[in-house]
Amino acid sequence: MLSLLIWLPLFGAIVIGVYPKLSAARNFALSISSVTFLIALFLFFKFDPTISGVQMEEYLPWLQQIGLSYRLGIDGISLPLLALNSFLSWIVIYGSKSEIDRSRLYYALILVVSSVVAGAFVAQNLLLFILFYELELIPLYLLIAIWGGEKRTYAAMKFLIYTAISGFLILLGFFSLAWLSGSSSFDYTINLQSIGSIPLPTQVIILTIILVGFGIKTPLVPLHTWLPDVYVESSPSVAILLGGVLSKLGTYGFVRFGLQLMPDAWAELSPALGIIGTVSVLYGALTAIAQKDIKRMVAYSSIGHMGYVLVACAAGTKLSLIGAVGQMVSHGLILALLFYLVGVIETKVGTRDLDSLNGLLNPIRGLPLTSTLLIIGGMASAGIPGLVGFIAEFLVFQGSFTVFPILTLLCIIASGLTAVYFVILLNRTCFGKLDNATAYYPKVTWAEHTPALILVALIFFLGIQPSWLLKWSEPTTNSLVASLVESVDRQIVLQSPSLVARN
Amino acid sequence: MTTATLETTKPVLPPSQHEFAEVIHRLEAGGAMLPDTPENLMQIIGLYKAYAVPMDFYWRNLLYIAEQVFLDPLPFFKYFIPKEYLELQNHYAGDRADLRIWRGIGSAHPELLAFMEKGETLKMPKIFHHLWHDRINMEFAEECMRAMLWHRGMGGQFDPYLDSDEYKANADKAIRAYFKFNPVMMGLYQLFPDMFLEQVRQMSYYSNLGLFWEIMAPVFFEMSDLYDEGKISSVPEAMDFLVNGIFAISGRPIYHQVNIRGEVFEIIPKSKGFMWLYEAALPYVEAVFYRTSPFRGTKSYNAQTQQVPEDQKDFYFGILYADVFPVGTAGIPPTLLMQDMLHFLPPYLVEYYAKHCRGQDDMLIQLGVSFQRSMYCVTSAVIQALRTALLYPLDDPNPKHLAANRAFFEAQLDRFKRPEARMRNIQSQDYR
């Protein structure tokens, strides 16, 4: 079942790529993507939310000599992200036009991205994970370089360099883990058992290397400098993939390979990580306020929202971790909505400049429904109750407060700043008076609105019924917290044996 | 009297250095401010027709309010025009016309009656049509009247007369007769006589505007018919028809009489000799086309930062300056009028609008822009009429006279130098 999520899109990509007579590439890609998404949905029926461990495992020996095996499985963390990946891939394909240049290559590459990202989320072997992690680099590089904006070559190269360094650091970390622990396999479970043999200072160094790798991907301040250029220069569809799905590989890495694989080192680093997360949150929000380009503004908002995830993971409480998973999904949905709508506005109005945009809510000549959806997206991102953003942020704040009260308060302030830049965005873009010297914008069709409407429906639904988002992850995150607590206790015993003996 | 275009006349003046030199040269050649293109002609004539049908209701209802409703303290049903006013014969249309401008009937237009019957929804009691706003929006007409009343002092004899003792005495008689059996209102009148007098002045402006539009409706109907028959084939011809019409009926008296329990009270007698052109047409153009008031709904004006001129005569919020995006108010932009005109568009305009911008979806704005073009044509006619009345013929051989004409045109066009003026926009067909 899990293999289908990898191989079906890949099969679709190959068919589109090699079968020259396939004229309706978009329809074919959409069909493949729809089936993939249905399979991902079907996993929810098969998944037992009461089990904290890995489920639906698939195993095939591969290159045993180097410890690489085809081992797949899902748990409460990967399941929602897997569904998010399939869903957003469908949205991206649906939202792209069939008459796009080199459409066969375009849709094939999107299917490849969907395939390899799914592979990374279900992989249960470190080398298999890094294989998928690196593989997504190629299609994404091409998607940015071919269908991007004016400075696409520069942006694609920047993305390539940063992501390659990210992959290299993660690979270095994984090799170090395996070699230093003496493990002959790169399977997660085996490494989880043998990691204790590595001295804590060494673990901290390895984890730092891995976290820098994932920090580039997420990205976190100060490793974020590739993000604004790449997000802005990418087409809206690719920006959805980058912000909605790819960035989640970074935060997924924090949880999976930091918190779960090396809880002792994670506990050591968590205060520093909390600070980095908070700096990212504040930096993202403050920089977004200063932007004049609405796409760049949304891009910077992404840095801030990813910071919440790191703060929550660093806090490592039951509530904060469930909030972190929630925030990953919530951010994926909201960012996809915002990027999609920014794309619609850019296509219809011809600009993303805040100083040029005005009065789009005008019911006759403006983009009233697009503007309404943008307002909802802004509200969701700012954490207005009733929308999914609120649930995730509230859990993050409540869960983190007990561990990092000051950092959490700073994050709450940043959440207020989110409202500030979205009010700026919405006020300049949607409100005011539409200038009838320029307002000859084409109408946005219902078909063009459909992806945004679906995303908004989901944002509302999960905001009102958050258990549908969170119940899958709770046992897994609880078990992570338990291992983290054990680890902290173990450190106390190791560092102060006399104190423990007295007690 | 303006004649046909003088494009072949040899220029005896050097080219104008005015910002709108091209437009001034066009006016000097007997043309309009609006460029002479078949597309412009189609738009303005189509809009005249669409405007004339609700206008046929406006003038009847305005006169009904001025003459019958008068000072009713609870005028809930003032828009429920009685049959006698629908059958009222227009003095410039029909068999019994004093001067037959339109060859059609003198009573209410058939399209108007059909719309009043069913509206755009379905046949139902009049009260439901009213509450659902499925009707002719008289609020627009009242807003125009109010603009004239509010600005006042725009020249002529009519307005100063409203402050005369004679007028006050006439009004007093009418007020006392109207409230003869209403002691409460009579008591209020004793306490606040000026308030009642001001209401009567407003009623006089109802009458003024009603009498103005009584003429304009048949003028527009006739222009539409002539266009359909191929007898008007250019913008200057359309403007000439307007100018000729203006002069033909310029002497029509403007008056105000009230019918109270079968007795007629002359508040402004016909014998005062107030002429249609100077007492109604020119103040109307000044108040509604140029000035109105800075309350457009979605845009806020900051008077402290000089966004609203200190002097009312400098106001620039009329249709010639308006941003025609509908704001839902009765005033300018004429959202309610645009809604009214939408029901009576000739098929060729519906087809034309469907081909541009968002077709059916933004027809309201497209017809608003066409309305703006047509009002520039009307304003051109007024400017040419004033030039004819006050200055010299366009083919005058005396260069000094031509220079005076030019100075007049330039002074008129100075009013469109403001960035808000749509003069620049209407020169291009891309403004829709």
User: In the Cβ-directed half-sphere of A317, how many Cα atoms lie within 13 Å?
Assistant: 16
CB pairs under 8 A between A and B: 30
State how far residue B302 is from chain A, nearest Cα, in angstroms. 15
CB contact, 8 Å: A446 with chain B? Answer: no
CB contact, 8 Å: A348 with chain B? Answer: no
**B230's torsion region: left (phi>0), alpha (psi -120 to 50) or beta?**
left
The one-letter amino acid code at B163 reads D
Mean pLDDT of A43-52: 91
Residue among A426, A421, A416, A411 at smallest CA distance from A297: A421
Whether B365 and A437 lie within 8 Å, measured CB to CB: no
Percent of chain A with pLDDT strictly greater than 70: 96
Residues B240, B9: contact at Cβ < 8 Å?
Answer: no
The one-letter amino acid code at B243 reads V
**For residues A217 and B4, what is the distance between their CA atoms, to the nearest angstrom?**
76
Whether B358 and A436 lie within 8 Å, measured CB to CB: no
b (16+ CB within 10 A) / e for B135-164: bbbbbbbbbbbbbbbebbebebebbeebee
Name the residue ranges covered by the structural domains of chain B: 21-151+204-255+276-426
**Interface-testing mutation among B342, B362, B427, with chain A (most A C-beta atoms within 10 A):** B362
CB contact, 8 Å: A327 with chain B? Answer: no
Mean pLDDT of A210-228: 92
pLDDT at A465 > cutoff 90 = yes
**For residue B400, what pLDDT is reported?**
93
State how far residue B122 is from chain A, nearest Cα, in angstroms. 25
Q: Which residues contact B136 (CB under 8 A, 6 or more apart)?
A: B54, B57, B58, B61, B112, B115, B116, B340
Instruction: List pLDDT tens digits, range A401-424.
Output: 999 999 999 999 999 999 999 999
Residue among B301, B322, B373, B320 at smallest CA distance from B45: B373
Nearest 10 degrees: Cα torsion A123, A126, A129, A133 = 160
**For residues A381 and A134, what is the distance between their CA atoms, to the nearest angstrom?**
30
Whether B357 and A433 lie within 8 Å, measured CB to CB: no
Token pair of A249, please?
């590989």
Residues A227, A190: contact at Cβ < 8 Å?
Answer: no
Q: Tell me what the pLDDT averaged over chain A comes to.
A: 90
DSSP codes of every residue in B233-281: -SHHHHHHHHHHHHHHTTT-B--EEEEETTEEEEEE-GGG--BHIIIII
Per DSSP, A66 falls in state G
Q: How many CB atoms are closer than 10 A to CB A59? A: 13
**pLDDT by residue, tens only, chain B of 432 residues:** 444 444 455 557 899 999 999 999 999 999 999 999 999 999 999 999 999 999 999 999 999 999 999 999 999 999 999 999 999 999 999 998 999 999 999 999 999 999 999 998 888 999 999 999 999 999 999 999 999 999 988 888 999 999 999 999 999 999 999 999 999 999 999 999 999 999 999 999 999 999 999 999 999 999 999 999 999 999 999 999 999 988 889 889 999 999 999 999 999 999 999 999 999 999 999 999 999 988 765 566 777 888 888 888 999 999 999 888 877 777 788 889 999 999 999 999 999 999 999 998 999 999 999 999 999 999 999 999 999 989 999 999 999 999 999 999 999 999 999 998 999 999 999 999
pLDDT at A394 > cutoff 80 = yes
Token pair of A187, please?
């399977």
**For residues B96 and A321, what is the distance between their CA atoms, to the nearest angstrom?**
89
- Total domains present in chain A: 1
Mean pLDDT of A486-493: 70
Q: Which residue in the block uniquely carries the two structure tokens 């303290």? A: B73
**For residues B27 and B388, what is the distance between their CA atoms, to the nearest angstrom?**
12
State how far residue B321 is from chain A, nearest Cα, in angstroms. 12
**For residues B199 and B178, what is the distance between their CA atoms, to the nearest angstrom?**
13
b (16+ CB within 10 A) / e for A252-262: bbbbbbbbbbb
DSSP codes of every residue in A368-428: HHHHHHHHHHHHHHTT-TTSHHHHHHHHHHHHHHTT-HHHHHHHHHHHHHHHHHHHHHHHH
**For residue A86, what pLDDT is reported?**
95
Instruction: List pLDDT tens digits, range A301-328.
Output: 999 999 999 999 999 899 999 999 999 9
Residue among A372, A246, A251, A239 at smallest CA distance from A297: A239
The one-letter amino acid code at A180 reads L
Element (H, E) at B185: helix B183-191
A55, β-bridge pairs: A74
**SS3 letters for A160-204?**
HHHHHHHHHHHHHHHHHHHHHHCCCCCEHHHHHHHHHHCCHHHHH
Q: What are phi and psi of A235, to 5 degrees?
A: -65, 160
Element (H, E) at A69: strand A68-74
In angstroms, the Cα distances linking B181 to A232, B56, B260, B261, B264 are 77, 34, 12, 11, 17
How close are the terminal C-alpha atoms of chain B, in Å? 33
Nearest 10 degrees: Cα torsion A443, A449, A453, A456 = -80
Whole-prediction pTM value? 0.85
Instruction: List pLDDT tens digits, range A161-190.
Output: 999 999 999 999 998 988 888 777 788 777
A70, β-bridge pairs: A60
Residues of B at the A interface (Cβ-Cβ below 8 Å)?
298-299, 323-326, 357-358, 361-362, 364-365, 425, 431-432
State how far residue A441 is from chain B, nearest Cα, in angstroms. 8
State how far residue B421 is from chain A, nearest Cα, in angstroms. 12
Instruction: List pLDDT tens digits, range A114-153.
Output: 999 999 999 999 999 999 999 999 999 999 999 988 899 9
pLDDT bracket for residue A35 (50, 70, 90): very high
Q: What are phi and psi of B331, to 5 degrees?
A: -80, -150
Closest residue of chain A to B328, computed from CA coordinates: A363
Give the residue, B328 or A361, on which the prediction is more confident.
A361
Q: Which residues constitute the domain of residue A358?
A: 2-502
C-alpha A208: how far from its chain's center? Answer: 20
**For residue A363, what pLDDT is reported?**
87
Q: Which residue in the block uniquely carries the two structure tokens 């153009």? A: B285
pLDDT at A360 > cutoff 70 = yes
